[in-house]
Structure formats: structure tokens, C-alpha cells
Structure 1
Amino acid sequence: MARMTTAELRGYQQICGADGAMMVIACDQRGGMRTLLASDPAEQAKISNEVLGDTKADIARYLAIEASCVLVDPICAVPAIVNNGTLHRNTALLIGLDASGWDVSPEGYRLSKLVDGITARKVRELGGTGGKIMVYLRSDTPAANTHNIEILKQVIADFAAEDLLIVVEFLTYALEGETPEAYAAKIPELIQGGSQICLDLGSKVLKLPYPGSPESCAAVTRLAGDVPWAVLSAGVGHDTFLKQVEIAMANGASGVIAGRSLWKDCISLDRRVTRERLTMIAVPRLREIQAVIARHRSVAAAA
């Protein structure tokens, strides 16, 4: 099992709160954020990277300041949120390497993409505490993963050479012709299998979809050993995610990296509206998640 170096451990400590648990606000989405800001595709296409950057800045200023870390993209958000003083000095910074969307192979497999020019050294130059890479994996279909595993190998090696923290995320997806019911039944197996792939490649911190059940969360924890894993929100409703966080933390998760479940119904093209909703809606949601994490960290500390 890969263990963090001193420098990586320091980065990990900085993305965690005082209780040692990850509480990261994710707003590295681009295409997904545009769909939330406008329902009409033509209007979405008019939303500039600058507008997205302003939205991410507001999320950092009004929501992430209440957490331990913010995850942003290098297209819209940095270096601006650092250079203009938006990001609070106590808020750690993760920078996403994955490009928006994916390509499709002739067989229908999702091929992940990287943002051009964003290396471990560049993440450091942009002021990042560390990086985050996301790829798509189908652990039951090895041929689907060849391209994306090569991306993981490349990124993990690059960050190791720079001695910089990298958080590894994967998502699963339904294959062509697979029914929603058949896919849903496989999710625990796919999350466990994808976690094993990432661990075998040397991942030291994992960001995972909800593994599907208490038993599957516990299985991921056993697989991970000393490697911490955070559960992501995947855009589910806040109440649903709160239950998932409860189960994940009770079964060995080390925290949360959450985005849309906190702010998806708070952002607006009117920044005054965004700021008000982040303060009145998103921050109380965050407090509920933090209370769940704190309760489980207290139990673990007392054990």
C-alpha cells in the first residue's frame, strides 16, 4: 500500500479540518455548472469562463471559507482566486487536472481527458496545495480502462516526482445497452473494483462515489487500509447525501469532497442571488455535514 511522503502528508493535513477529516468544497465543474446557471443550451453556450470564474470565486468566498479546502479548475478559477485575494489564507487549494467531458472509443467506452499544460509543477506554481485527477473506470471490463489507467499512471508518477499531493477520483458509468437496473445492481462491485485499480496504481488519497451500501463502504475501507477516502456527492439532493455521509463515515470514510449537493440550487447569473443563497442555504447544509463528520470522528477518537 502506497504511503504518503512527509510533503504529501502535510498537504493532506491542510485539506483536512482541525478534526483530521476531509471537508472539501468541489467547484471544478464547467459544463455541469453551465447547465445549472441556464436551462437553454444556447444560453449555456454564452456563459463565459469569466462568469464561471466569478461563480467559483463566490463559492470560495462564501462557502469554502467555512470548510477546510476548495477544489477548483485551472481554466476559470486560478490563479485569479489567489491573486485577487478571494481565497482565504486558511483555505487549502486543490486544482483539478481533468478536462470537461470525455471522448468515446469505437466500443462506446469513456475516454478521460486532461487539461492541457496542467502538470504537478504547474499546480504548485498556481499555489495549489495539491491536485485532483478524475477518470472513468469499469472494473468489470478491463478493455474499457486501458486509456484511463495510462492517464492515472502518468499523473501519479508526475506528482510523485514533484512530491505533491494528488487526490485520485474515479466515476463509473453504464455501458452501451446496459439497463439502468443492471447497472445499479453492479455499483457496489464497480466502486470496490475501481478503488482496487486506483490503489494498485499507487493512489494515496481517494475521492469516491458513494459505494452503495454500508457493507460496500466497509469493504472499500478494508481495501484501502491506511489510504484515506472521501465520499463525493455526485449531485444528489442534500438529504440523500447527508444519509450517504452518515453511512460512509460510520464505515471508515475519512471525510467528504462535496459540490453540487451543497450549491447546485444556490448559484445564479445574478451574483447577489448567489451570495445570498450560499450564505442562507449552502452554509447551513455544510454545517449539517460537518456535524455528521464530527460525531463520527469523536467516536473513532474515543475507541
Structure 2
Amino acid sequence: MNELTPLERRAMSKIVTPGGRMLIVAADQRNGMKAVMKDAPAGPGSVTLEQLAAAKADIVKFLANNGPAILLDPEVALPLIVESGVIDSDTGLVVGMDASGFDTVDGLQYTRFSTGVTPRTVRDLGGDAAKMLWYMRPDKQDADSRVVAEIADLVKACTEEGLLLIVEILVYRLEGETEEEYKAIFPQLVIDAAKLSVGAGAKVLKLQYPGSAEAAAAVTAAADGVPWAVLSAGVDHETFIEQVATAVENGASGAMAGRSLWKDSLAVSPETREELLTTRALPRLQELAAVLDRSSVLV
């Protein structure tokens, strides 16, 4: 197990429920968030950065402040939202370090780092923790691969800064790979990605739901004591609740939910947004917290 430092444990306490489960509202999306704001007069593509920032601020105000923590990006949301005072003092702030999109080299996907964002930058932005996304195909990459080296380097840099790093891994379908072929190996990809990440020093993981109780238990074994949270991957709320319940029963330590909470609650209109976030998204967050804390174990 990759042990947390005292500073990292202090940060962890900011992103968990009263029962000790990780629960973070993810609002670091950019284009994906624009896409669901369908009341924009000229279509979602016309949503301005100012309108997008306002939507993110309302996610904090009407949703995330009712839970442990919020995940925001430094490209649109920060430092504006921190400076505005919208984030409650007891709401943890996780800062995303990854930029939108990815690069492809020899058929493999590589994450893009937000320009100029370092562990110190995360601190300067008011972050309690950082999150970085990596794409991985563990059947094509090993402990000596570029992606594993990147994880190890950033874990080291964050540890030296006294900053908790959440390592998010997305496995993906290769060009030329059929949907059936990918589906057949998907659970093992998630399991092996967890193992490689922990081998690189990861102390907290954010992973896709691997598809079953058996696979979730195997992810927990591969994580070797490192806590892992399930990401929502855009599924509907009801599906995500079932996935989280199964994952937690088999060793997962929490959830990071974005679109499953707010994808049908965003609008350009502030009035519409407030109503939907309050009456539709907030009950979902409360239900998710209740599911997580039915079996409470401190992470």
C-alpha cells in the first residue's frame, strides 16, 4: 500500500462523507458541459466562457456545497470561483490538472497537461487536492511505459509539495478493435490499470466501474490497499447508484460524479439552472451519499 503523508491525510478528510467515503462532484468538464446547455439561443456551441463559468459556480453553490467536495478546472473555473467566495469554507476543492483532449502516438492516447499548472499552482488556486487524468491500455503498456513514468513523476512532485493527488485512469478502445473485443477485455483492463498505477506510486485512484461485483473485488485486490473511487462516465443516475453500491460492497472507497448528477440540470438561464440543480441534481447527490455511507469505513 502507498501510504498517505499527514498532509495528504488531512486533505483526504476534506473530500469524504461523515461515514468516511470519498464523494466529489465533478465539474471540471468544458465541452461536455456546454453540450448539455441546450437552451443557448444559437445552440450549445455558442455558450461563452463566461456563461460556462457561471454554470460551474452554480454547481458549486446549489450542489457541491451540500457535499464534501468539488472538482474544478483552472482553465475556466479557477481562480474566479474561489475569489468569488462561492465555495463554502468546509467544501473541499480538488483542482484538475489535465487539459481537454488527448494526443495519439502509435495508436495510444496520451493526456494533455494544463499549461503552467503545477502542484504549487494547485496550492495557489486554493486546492486541497489535485486530480490528473491518464489514458491507459495496460495490455499495450507496462511498468516501463511513458504513462507509468508520468504518473510516478507527478505523484513524487505532489508528495514533495504536500499535495494529495487523485490519479484518474481511463481505459479505452483501440482503433480497429471491435466493440465486442473491447467489452470482453474491459474488466481486466481496469484491473490491470489499477495495478500499474499503484506500482507507479498512486495513493488514491479514480476508475471506471469494471462491470461486475467480481471485477470490482479484483480491482480492490489490485489496488493493494489504495482507496479507489468510481467515476460516473456519463451514465444515468439510477445506473450509477447501482454501480456505486456494488463497487463499495466489493471494496471501493467512494465515487466521483459529474454528468450523472447535473447533465439534465444545466441551462444558460440562471433561474432554470438554480431550480433544476436544487430539485433534480441535489436529491441525486443526497441519495449517492446515503448509498456510500450504508457501509461506512474510513479511507
Aligned residues: 297
> Could you say which residue in structure 1 is the equivalent of 2:271?
272
**1:3 correspondence with 2:15:** no
Tell me the distance in 2 between the aligned counterparts of 1:117 and 1:43: 32
> Could you say which residue in structure 2 is the equivalent of 1:248?
247
Residue 36 of structure 2 aligns to a residue whose secondary structure is helix
Superimposed CA distance per residue, residues 9-55 of structure 1 (whole angstroms, 9 cap, x where no aligned partner): 10011111221111110010112112222499x84443222221111
Structure number with the higher strand fraction is 2
Structure number with the higher helix fraction is 1
Tell me the distance in 2 between the aligned counterparts of 1:110 and 1:55: 30
Question: Quick check: 1:111–1:147 contact (8 Å CA) kept in 2?
Answer: no
Q: How does 1:211-222 map to 2 (within 5 A)?
A: 211-222=210-221
> Could you say which residue in structure 1 is the equivalent of 2:15?
15
> Could you say which residue in structure 1 is the equivalent of 2:61?
61
Superimposed CA distance per residue, residues 154-206 of structure 1 (whole angstroms, 9 cap, x where no aligned partner): 32121011011000001011001111111111111000010011100100011
Tell me the distance in 1 between the aligned counterparts of 2:285 and 2:83: 26
Superimposed CA distance per residue, residues 227-273 of structure 1 (whole angstroms, 9 cap, x where no aligned partner): 11111100101111010011011011111111000000110111211
Q: How does 1:1-303 map to 2 (within 5 A)?
A: 1-38=1-38, 43-105=43-105, 107-142=106-141, 146-297=145-296
Unaligned regions of 5+ residues in structure 1, if any?
none
> How far apart are residue 148 of structure 1 and its match?
2.8
Tell me the distance in 2 between the aligned counterparts of 1:266 and 1:254: 27
Q: Which runs of 4+ in 1 moved over 6 A?
A: none
Residue 110 of structure 1 aligns to a residue whose secondary structure is strand
Tell me the distance in 1 between the aligned counterparts of 2:53 and 2:145: 33
Question: Quick check: 2:17–2:293 contact (8 Å CA) kept in 1?
Answer: no
Superimposed CA distance per residue, residues 47-90 of structure 1 (whole angstroms, 9 cap, x where no aligned partner): 22222111110000000011100001011111111111100111
TM-score, normalised with respect to structure 2: 0.95
Over the matched positions of the two proteins, sequence identity in percent amounts to: 42
Tell me the distance in 2 between the aligned counterparts of 1:136 and 1:246: 25
Residue 186 of structure 1 aligns to a residue whose secondary structure is helix
Question: Quick check: 1:255–1:293 contact (8 Å CA) kept in 2?
Answer: yes
Unaligned regions of 5+ residues in structure 2, if any?
none
Letter matched to residue 81 of structure 1:
I
Question: Quick check: 1:52–1:76 contact (8 Å CA) kept in 2?
Answer: yes
> How far apart are residue 291 of structure 1 and its match?
1.4
Change (3 A) 1:39 1:195: farther
Tell me the distance in 1 between the aligned counterparts of 2:196 and 2:224: 14
Letter matched to residue 265 of structure 1:
D
Question: Quick check: 2:234–2:259 contact (8 Å CA) kept in 1?
Answer: yes
Residue 230 of structure 1 aligns to a residue whose secondary structure is strand
Instruction: Compare relative contact order (CA 8 Å, sep 6+) and give the higher one, 1 or 2.
Output: 2
Residue 131 of structure 1 aligns to a residue whose secondary structure is strand
Tell me the distance in 2 between the aligned counterparts of 1:249 and 1:271: 35
Tell me the distance in 1 between the aligned counterparts of 2:57 and 2:139: 39
Residue 98 of structure 2 aligns to a residue whose secondary structure is coil
Question: Quick check: 2:151–2:201 contact (8 Å CA) kept in 1?
Answer: no
Give the superposed CA RMSD: 1.9
Question: Quick check: 1:8–1:164 contact (8 Å CA) kept in 2?
Answer: yes
Letter matched to residue 85 of structure 1:
G
